[in-house]
Amino acid sequence: MILTVTLNTALDITYRVPTLVPHASHRIDEVAERPGGKGLNVARVLAALGHEAVVTGFAGGPSGEVLRARLAELAPVDELVPIAGATRRTIAVVDAVSGDTTQLNEPGPLVSPAEWDAFVATYGRLLDGAEAVALCGSLPPGLPVGAYAQLVRQARAAKVPVLLDTSGEALRRGIAARPDLVKPNADELAQLTGSREPLRAARDARRRGAHAVVASLGAQGMLAASPDGLWQAAPPAAVRGNPTGAGDSAVAGLLSGLVEGLDWPDRLTRAVALSAATVLAPAAGEFDSGAYEKMLGSVRVTEHAH
């Protein structure tokens, strides 16, 4: 079983419009409503890859009820912890002509100390059966900024490989707890290290505590810095579509590759192919399976000198 943690879950609503025009009224062609948040997206992709996936985190209020009802229709197992506050909603507006997406994210609910304690107990129980765990996304209000650092240390004590995918101070604190893998994008990595040069920044992130670093570089693919070496993997061409969730699919690729014992080049190939195939799918947590299979044979992997 692979465990994913989403402390700030969301009910994802995607609108597709013929053309998005500022200051104008729009007729919506298509509406999709799905359980969201980075870890839930990761779990859905893991399940599609054939892995048992369990999701935990928080859900509450009417939007949380809808999220859990939608999640019950899907493969991941629901171990979300109920809270009094309402789960946030995210709105993605997709321009059908350009493929560009405008994202509107509500703030998360306030989480009480008692609700956090209930989550920590649930997390500890679930770690007992986990092959790996992903800690994903932002922290909702009320949680300590070192929450992820605490969860990383708990996973390491249980000897469960842990991947951290967050940003800002939560990433800075979390990386000091020595996670097995962090997966920032280029901007998050630059914010953490102060360097815009990805290779230098990835090495710096490892010195700060991460065992391995995989950086998402957009159209340039992904860069991995690990004790075993340095690699960069890129798709054969830029892919246009809805990028929401592409990074989450990459996390699923990395985690599934880890538990299957794949080497780093194969893990990166899977992560890049899944990420590109997600851009071609209508919503986060999904990927175009045909495009994914084609991409697996065309992703370019380059090894860098240490």
Active site residue ranges: 248
Q: Which stretch of DSSP H or E encloses residue 116? A: helix 113-127
SS3 199: helix
Can you tell me the distance from the alpha carbon of 291 to that of 297, in angstroms, rounded to the nearest whole number? Answer: 10
Q: How far is CA 160 from the centre of its chain?
A: 18
Q: Which stretch of DSSP H or E encloses residue 155? A: helix 147-157
Cβ(151)–Cβ(170) below 8 Å: no
DSSP string computed for 53-112: EEEEEEEEHHHHHHHHHHHHTSSSEE-PEEESSPPEEEEEEEETTT--EEEEEPPPPP--
Cα–Cα separations (whole angstroms), residue 86 to 9, 64, 73 = 10, 6, 21
Q: Which among 16, 15, 19, 14 has a CA at the least distance from the CA of 97? A: 19
Q: Which among 91, 147, 145 has a CA at the least distance from the CA of 116? A: 147
